Amino acid sequence: MQPNYILRQHAHARLRLLLDAKHLQNVSQACRLHGVSRASFYKWKARYDGSVESLMDRPRRPRSHPRQLSTQEHALVEGVARKHKRWGLHRLYWFLRTYHAFTRSIGALYKALKRLGFYALKKRRRRRKYKRYEQPWPGANVQIDVKYPPKIQGLQDYQYTAIDEYSRLRYAQIYGEITPRQAARFLGDALDFFHRHRIRVEQVQTDHGTEFTYAMFPHVKKEHPFERALRHEGIRHKLTPVGKPHLQGKVERSHRIDDDEFYRVYRFSTPEKRLRSFRLYMHHYNHRRAHGSLNWRSPIQHLKAWHQSQCVSDV
């Protein structure tokens, strides 16, 4: 049964109340017959203009709210949201609160974005729930993976990325080849980078790519250069199970950030120009970019906070 039909039925019942009161010439008796109060009778009598529609329920939603966003706040939200289209709700809220003194709640921001048309209704899909793994200290586990950046002049480069799971501190470089020896050289550079930031790497986690291991080729008997470099450094090598990319979730998520904030934003005519800009972007990522998973701190800030906490505990 449609809601509009029910509303019209209620309106006809109120019309009968008014007609019975007129016929009986006794408001109290008519109200007792219909089970309503005299106050309700006079309310509907004052509203009645000769049409049934005037006796239908009206929306109870208030026309205004004392804490609704002002025109200036709506303009601010719209301007920031259009400038940073790829940002999520929480990141937009942090940016507005930090740089524009936005004092409203995150719920108010979400409703404002809905009114402005930034959130369209989508069919909800069930997401498989995965257990999130967090490391207790820096260097406990470092995820390494390779990303394929967009081609330039038909040439394919490869981005090697190493990310510390605790602090989200990243070391990444773009090379022209994807080979076991190149992966071993990248490992050495990454370990030097983490060592400069006082991170002792205890374990490295990768997938089963041939640049990291020969585990998928049992007929190959020689030691992989990448695994040999790990053995010389005394670092454990953890391989994620095949078909479980979510276990490499932190490095995969960082690669998506690279797409949203670097590769899809800037265009380069040569690989050399992209490499120079990528180094600046990585410095921004580690030192200035706020991360929601780190309570809106940069990886360097989060790492410094951990080192300071260790100094206090030692004292």
What is the percent of the chain with per-residue pLDDT over 70, rounded to a whole number?
Answer: 94
162, containing H or E segment: strand 158-164
Judge whether residue 33 has pLDDT over 50.
yes
Query: 262: pLDDT confidence band, cut at 50, 70 and 90?
Result: very high
Residue predicted with more confidence, 244 or 136: 136
Average pLDDT over residues 128-152: 87
Measured CA to CA, the distance from residue 147 to residue 143 in angstroms comes to 13
User: What pLDDT score does 142 carry?
Assistant: 96
Return the number of other C-beta atoms located less than 10 Å from residue 162's C-beta: 25
Q: What is the pLDDT of residues 79-133, one digit of tens each?
A: 999 998 888 899 999 999 999 999 999 999 999 999 888 887 666 677 666 666 7
Quick one: three-class SS letters along 219-254? CCCCCCHHHHHHHHHCCEEEECCCCCHHHHHHHHHH
Measured CA to CA, the distance from residue 204 to residue 182 in angstroms comes to 16
User: What pLDDT score does 121 carry?
Assistant: 61
Domain ranges of the chain: 3-55, 71-115, 142-314
Please give the mean pLDDT across all residues of the chain: 90
Query: 313: pLDDT confidence band, cut at 50, 70 and 90?
Result: low
**Domain 142-314 homologous superfamily, CATH:** Ribonuclease H-like superfamily/Ribonuclease H (3.30.420.10)
Q: What is the pLDDT of residues 45-88, one digit of tens each?
A: 999 998 888 888 888 877 777 788 889 999 999 999 999 888 88
For strands 203-206 and 142-147, give the pairing: parallel
Contact 99, 161 (CB under 8 A): no
What SS3 state is found at 205?
strand
Measured CA to CA, the distance from residue 247 to residue 230 in angstroms comes to 20
Measured CA to CA, the distance from residue 139 to residue 147 in angstroms comes to 22
Residue 262: CA count within 13 A, CB half-sphere: 23
Find, among 39, 44, 42, the residue nearest to 56 by Cα: 44
Which residues, including other chains, have CB under 8 Å from residue 103's CB and lie 6 or more apart?
97
Average pLDDT over residues 146-153: 93
For strands 158-164 and 236-239, give the pairing: unpaired
Question: pTM for the full model?
Answer: 0.72
- Torsion, Cα 131 135 136 139, to 10 degrees, reads 170
User: What pLDDT score does 209 carry?
Assistant: 92
Q: What is the pLDDT of residues 169-219, one digit of tens each?
A: 999 999 999 999 999 999 999 999 999 999 999 999 999 999 999 998 888
User: What pLDDT score does 1 carry?
Assistant: 43
User: What pLDDT score does 123 carry?
Assistant: 67
